[in-house]
Amino acid sequence: MDYAATGQEALSRIAGASDLDTLEALRVEFLGKQGSISGLLKTLGKMSPDERKVEGPRIHGLRESVTEALTARKDALETAALDARLESETIDLSLPAPEQPRGSVHPVSQVMDELAEVFADMGFAVATGPEIEDDWHNFTALNMPESHPARAMHDTFYFPDRNEGGREMLLRTHTSPVQIRSMLDVVKHNPGGAPLRVIAPGRVYRSDSDATHTPMFHQIEGLVIDKGIHLGHLKWTLETFLKAFFERDDIVLRLRPSYFPFTEPSVEVDVGYAYEGGRRVVGGSGDAPGHAWMEVLGSGMVNRRVIEAGGLDPDEWQGFAFGTGVDRLAMLKYGMDDLRAFFDGDVRWLSHYGFSALDVPTLSGGVGTPA
């Protein structure tokens, strides 16, 4: 058989294929199960060893040349089809992007990112702890005696079982246990102690529910431990934080004496505000005409007993702590009036108040982004 003539005819027909369908038909004709070249391969089994040595390489060479030609022609046809499609299609880049279903970042998540950005600029690290906590970390180490009202069943969600150490287990009522864990972790890695600046954002749980309270909400706590720390450092930190968070330089603070078992002295922090357009807007002094004071967070110097529970020497190390509700900060900054809506999962509410995933808070571009 004249394999050269057969191959030449096949290559000519392949080169002349005008579309992919025609090319596929030729592939089946030559290389399919019933194809002419496949038929030649089947004849090798009937040949003598000497004939197979001569005919085998010729038939395989014919098959390889046809296969290569089919592949090259297919690539050429596909490239030509793509070029033709690109030439015929046009995109008007001035048109708005089509509407597509999209999710949004929850305001609580956005505000947590904003807070982390603000405090990171002041040298604070983010610390985390378990939401299922034991009563020692949640209460005892924070200088809350057994009779303290915060331990009462109507405030705290307790579990029926105790842990291996015999301690009661509960859903943490604040993020303050993270302060204890952070101090203990510092002592573990540095027995002499070391400066500590952390914020602890996260979920907390209390048995309460109305327009301004929910059984689960979000808090952020801050802790600074160092040598020579005093109340002035606390005031500067809070003032710097609130000015950066609300993006206003006219924030005025009022510190009022208060009581918290884990701080001494303790102060509650108020900011001045006024109503503008039916919503509270932070800024100015609360004593100015048309203004009032509003409590935004609690704070104070860390109690000696708490520092001792953290494994540090209170005669050498001092510190301050503060805490505030993330949800309420979001309500105040973005004009929301009902805390319960944060957890209803209403898509309309999320579409209105949610943030784009690309709205990443930055101090240079502004931590506040349009809702």
String of DSSP letters for 93-150? TTSPPPP-----B-HHHHHHHHHHHHHHHTTPEE----SEEEHHHHTGGGT--TT-GG
d(CA 135, CA 129): 14
d(CA 179, CA 181): 6
Query: What is the mean pLDDT of the segment spanning 57-79?
Result: 88
Residue 99 covered by a domain: no
CATH number of domain containing 265: 3.30.930.10
Sequence ranges of the binding site: 264
Residue 233 covered by a domain: yes
CB hemisphere CA count around 177 (13 angstroms): 22
Sequence ranges of the binding site for Mg(2+): 264
pLDDT band at residue 262, thresholds of 50, 70 and 90? Answer: very high
Query: What is the mean pLDDT of the segment spanning 291-302?
Result: 93
Query: What is the mean pLDDT of the segment spanning 237-257?
Result: 92
* 202-211, 229-238, 250-259, 312-321, range with the lowest pLDDT: 202-211
d(CA 77, CA 23): 9
What pLDDT is stored for residue 49 in this prediction? 84
Three-state SS at 346: coil
Verify that 142 and 37 share a domain, yes or no.
no
Residues 6+ apart with CB under 8 A from 241: 118, 119, 122
Verify that 49 and 170 share a domain, yes or no.
no
Helix (H) or strand (E) holding 370: none
Give the total number of structural domains in the chain. Answer: 2
Strand partners, 269: 255, 297
What's the domain range around 232?
Answer: 107-353
pLDDT band at residue 214, thresholds of 50, 70 and 90? Answer: confident
d(CA 181, CA 339): 30
Q: List pLDDT tens digits, range 173-206.
A: 999 999 999 999 999 988 877 899 999 999 999 8
d(CA 365, CA 334): 18
Q: List pLDDT tens digits, range 303-339.
A: 999 999 999 999 999 999 999 999 888 888 888 877 7
What pLDDT is stored for residue 371 in this prediction? 43
Residue 327 covered by a domain: yes
pLDDT band at residue 299, thresholds of 50, 70 and 90? Answer: very high
Query: What is the mean pLDDT of the segment spanning 267-280?
Result: 88
Let me know the angle formed at the C-alpha of 30 by 28 and 32, rounded to the nearest 5 degrees. Answer: 40
Q: Which amino acid is at 52?
A: R
What pLDDT is stored for residue 212 in this prediction? 57
Verify that 179 and 62 share a domain, yes or no.
no
d(CA 277, CA 62): 85
What pLDDT is stored for residue 138 in this prediction? 92
Query: What is the mean pLDDT of the segment spanning 26-45?
Result: 83
Residue 179 covered by a domain: yes
d(CA 274, CA 165): 51
